[in-house]
Structure 1
Amino acid sequence: MKIQGKTALVTGASRGIGRAIAIELAQNGIQRLLLVARDATRLAQLATEIEVEGVEVVIIPLDLTKPIDVNIAVAKAWRDYGPIHLLVNCAGIVHQTPFLQSKMYQIHEEISLNLMGMYTITRLMARRMAARQEGTIVNVSSLMGKVAAPTMSTYSATKFAILGFTQALRGELSAHKLNVISLLPSLTDTDMSRGLKLFSWVRATTPKRVAISLLRGLHRGDSEILVGWQSYLAVWGQRLAPWLLEKILLITAPQWQEKPQLRG
């Protein structure tokens, strides 16, 4: 995909990977950026930073877990700034907890945003793109969408689901000339990840490196974009010796001292 002169909408743009992707798009010729996140202040700060690149920036403070608000926002964006050529679904949240200690409100948060929020905006955007027979959708999954790990069960479940969703859409929407791509970062140094207990063998990459990998993948026309050698090593380990990789994950997983509280 050539992004020069195009319009892109990026969710989760206020921080982390989404923010880095927005900046990288601006520095590589995108004409207009629609930035979506819940934090209006952070979005405004990012817009000020990006506008010096000569890019038109529109901020859209929005909670993707509220379908009615999303519907209204997408309709308005297409009316005022469309057509939108590129959708990057980057919004997400993680709660790292052993399954027996997990809390239902945290599970609901992860599924509501990571999966259902992405589904809601993608459905609205894809229908409009399909009507024009033009568009690219990038769904940000994770290495955890290929290799699940202890203490990350719900997060992994949502990221596995994103890969399945992306693969299904890739087949369905190709008839409408839409490209559907998955981006799979490994652990990335963001605000969200700094609160995690890390696996001992994992080394964090940077949001900028993830963004650069995405731009390269778009240029090459990749359908799946892995980021970093650790991702390739883990994926090949999963394919060739899943039993060995599972043992390694158990050995290197963070240790938790708390015990589950069982209640009737």
Structure 2
Amino acid sequence: MKIQGKTALVTGASRGIGRAITQELAKQGMQRIILVARNKQQLLKVAEVIASMGTEAIVLPLDLTQTVDVNIAIAKTWKLHGPIHLLINCAGVAHQSPFLQAKLPKVQEELSLNLMGIYSMTHFIARRMASKREGRIVNVSSLMGKIGAPTMATYSATKFAILGFTQALRSELAAYNIKVTALLPSLTETDMTRNTQRFRWVASMTPEKVAKVLVDSLEKESPEILVGWQSHLAVFGNRLAPRLLEGWLQLTAPKSIKQEMKKTIFSRGY
């Protein structure tokens, strides 16, 4: 996909990987970027940076879990600014917790935003892309969409689901000349991950690196884009020796969380 002269919509654009993607797209010549996130003030700051690069920035504050509001906003945006050629679903949230201590409201938040938020936004835009017989959709999953990790059960579940969703759409939307791709970064230094306890011996990467890999890959037809050597190694290891990888994940899990898991088991008599 040639991005020059095209319009992109990026969710989760106010921070982290989403923000880095918008800046990389602007750097590479995207004509217009529609910035979607809940925080309007943060979006305005991103818009200022993008505008300084010569790209038109449109701020669209939205809560992706509010389906009716999203539908209305997308219809108005498409009418005012023309077709959206590239959709990047990057919005997401992660809550780290041993499964037995998981809080239902946080579980529901992850399911609503990480999965249903992507589903509804893609539905509204893909229908319009199909009428134009042109489009590219990138769903941001995670390495945890390939390999489930202790203390991240709900997050892993949503990211596995995104891969299945992406694979199904890839076949279904091909007839409309819509390409669908999944992006799978590993641990990335963002505001979200700073609030989690790290797995030992796992190196992190910057949002800028993830964004560059994605944008450089847009001209290719890859169904999945893995970012970083650790991601490639982990996926290969999971295919070759899944039990060995599972043991390694248990070994690298944060010590404090493993202790909490044991306390929960003993205190409840499991």
Whether TM exceeds 0.5 here: the answer is yes
Write the distance in 2 (CA, Å) between the matches of 1:212 and 1:221: 16
Offset at residue 47 of structure 1 (A): 0.5
Secondary structure of residue in 1 paired with 2:212: helix
Offset at residue 215 of structure 1 (A): 0.9
Aligned counterpart, 1:12: 12
Equivalences for 1:1-264 in 2 at 5 Å?
Answer: 1-255=1-255, 256=257, 257-258=259-260, 259-260=263-264
Give me the CA root mean square deviation: 0.9
Secondary structure of residue in 1 paired with 2:59: strand
Write the distance in 2 (CA, Å) between the matches of 1:209 and 1:244: 29
Offset at residue 88 of structure 1 (A): 0.2
Write the distance in 1 (CA, Å) between the matches of 2:216 and 2:241: 30
Identity %: 62
Count residues with an aligned counterpart.
262
Letter in structure 1 aligned against 2:108: H
Write the distance in 2 (CA, Å) between the matches of 1:139 and 1:181: 6
User: 1:28-86: CA deviations, max 9, x gaps?
Assistant: 01000000000000000010111011111100000000001101111011011120000
Letter in structure 2 aligned against 1:46: V
Structure 2: segments with no counterpart, 5+ residues? none
Offset at residue 219 of structure 1 (A): 2.1
Offset at residue 125 of structure 1 (A): 0.3
Offset at residue 169 of structure 1 (A): 0.1
Offset at residue 220 of structure 1 (A): 2.3
User: 1:85-130: CA deviations, max 9, x gaps?
Assistant: 0000000000000000000001000000000010001000000000
Secondary structure of residue in 2 paired with 1:65: coil
Write the distance in 2 (CA, Å) between the matches of 1:181 and 1:250: 30
Secondary structure of residue in 2 paired with 1:220: coil
- TM-score normalized by structure 1? 0.98
User: 1:230-264: CA deviations, max 9, x gaps?
Assistant: 000000000000000000001111122434376xx
